[in-house]
Structures are given as C-alpha cells and as structure tokens.
Amino acid sequence: MPYKATQKEDESVAHRHNIGIPEHPRYINLSTHLSATQSAEYCNLMKQFADVFSWEYSDLKTYDKKIIQHRIPLEKDTIPFKQNLRPINPFLLPFIEKEIKKLLAAKIIVPLRYSKWVANLVVVRKKSGEIGLCVDFRNLNKCSKKDNLSFTQDGAFAAEGLRSQSDVFPRWIFGT
C-alpha cells in the first residue's frame, strides 16, 4: 500500500511546485517558510536551468566504458562476499520489476552473468508512495579503502578551504 503523507506533514515541510508544463510536469519541493516572492524567484530560477537536472532515468547520460571506468579500491587480501538471498514481499514484486526495467532501459544498470560480489536489493518506500531500490553494500563498504575526505553532521562535503552546505544555504530553504 503506497505511503500517503498527511496534509499536515505536507504543509509543514514543503510545498510542491510544477516548473514544467501540464502535459510533462516537473515537480520541485520548496520550503513553506519561504515568502511568495522567494518561492516565485526559486521557481523561475529552476525553470531557467531545468535542463541541467535529470527528471527521469532516461535523462541520465550513459558513458563509454572504454573511456570511463569506476573502480572501488579494496583492502589487500579482500575476499568477495555473496549475501544470502533475503525474502521480498510478493506484493512488491511487480513494482520492483517495473523499476528494474526502467533502470535497464536507461542503461543505469547492466546484467552480469557472473559476479564475485552479490548484494541484496533493499526496497524503500518514498514519501510520495513510490518504490525505490537500494543495494545493501555494507559488506563491500567494510572492505573498501577509506579516503581522507570527511562529511559534516548534516551530510555536506567538508574539506580544507570549502564551506559546508549549511554555511552556504540556510536549512529552511530546502525544507530539511
């Protein structure tokens, strides 16, 4: 059953704005703490730069694997881990299949015949009621080499000479 936020929750956190057209909506959420003028300015700014955001999986660009490859540096003598299959609610299977087909069509994921690492899908329900898929990478994270970059308590990137997100943007702008 899809999660439906109560009206009180929706109003207290953010207000939904369509910066697209009715036939092809593009929704953004802005804090209810913004004035009408501020909301209008943010909407106009987002409309002006709407092409830089990915609104659907198909908007994401694929890349040539001959040019770009992502590798996760692992600790020495790491043994690949295969998680045991966890049961999934049969009611969610059609939603999961639909999401996986969208990811495959957009070439965000590709099928692999053999893999040394196997991790379970984790089904999460978004506030909108939609189904989201995550991968349980806890075993991989334990084996990967750690970098020297850090994140602040609110999840913003922090490195010498860079300010955190909370210093640049007040938290109430994005309704966090």
Which whole number is the average pLDDT over 159-173? Answer: 44
User: Is there a contact between 14 and 31 (Cβ–Cβ < 8 Å)?
Assistant: yes
Strand partners, 30: 15
CA-wise closest residue to 31 among 54, 48, 8, 10: 10
61-99 per-residue burial string, b: 16 or more CB within 10 A, e: under 16: eeeeeeeeeeeeeeeeeeeeeeeeeeeeeeeeeebeeeb
The pLDDT score that the predictor gives to residue 149 is 65
Question: If pLDDT is split at 50, 70 and 90, which confidence band does 40 have?
Answer: very high
pLDDT in tens, 94-150: 988 998 898 888 877 888 877 788 888 888 888 878 888 888 888 888 888 887 666
pLDDT in tens, 7-18: 444 445 788 889
User: Is there a contact between 14 and 30 (Cβ–Cβ < 8 Å)?
Assistant: yes
Question: If pLDDT is split at 50, 70 and 90, which confidence band does 41 have?
Answer: very high
From CA 80, how far away is CA 112, in angstroms rounded? 16
User: Is there a contact between 100 and 107 (Cβ–Cβ < 8 Å)?
Assistant: no
Which whole number is the average pLDDT over 46-64? Answer: 80
User: Is there a contact between 164 and 156 (Cβ–Cβ < 8 Å)?
Assistant: yes
From CA 74, how far away is CA 145, in angstroms rounded? 5
